[in-house]
Amino acid sequence: MLFEENNKAIYIQIADRICDEIVNGIYPPDSRLPSVREYAADMQVNANTVMRSYERLAQQGYIYNRRGIGFFISLDARQKILDARGSDLVDNRLENIFSLLSHLNIDPDQLRDAYRDYLLRNSK
């Protein structure tokens, strides 16, 4: 895995990637994640780094541990992730986007039209 050059710790980037995989259906509800060692080998990182990622996801309620068996995806993980990401967008990111739109004199109607066009281009 290529890690981003930003201020995000690698274990958080791995946890985010697993969340993406859950949202995209790669890991469906109640399915087993690869073992810590397997995932570490795939990501080419230390097993302790992956363990920190798994612990973070467990604390957030996205996965759970069955002792001696492994980590599994929570039944409501996908919805919890989508809810958390939606809240993060609204609470932390839109302010910067709105500021940029204002500086560029893009009015709400232009934004609505651009978003509608985007949805039409990317609908299946």
pLDDT in tens, 27-58: 999 999 999 999 999 999 999 999 999 999 99
pTM of the model: 0.80
pLDDT in tens, 102-119: 999 999 999 999 999 999
What CA–CA distance (Å, rounded) separates 81 from 50?
19
Closest of 60, 14, 57 to residue 38, by C-alpha:
14
Reading the block at residue 117, the tokens are: 């066009």
What CA–CA distance (Å, rounded) separates 17 from 60?
15
User: Quick one: pLDDT band at residue 2, thresholds 50, 70, 90?
Assistant: low
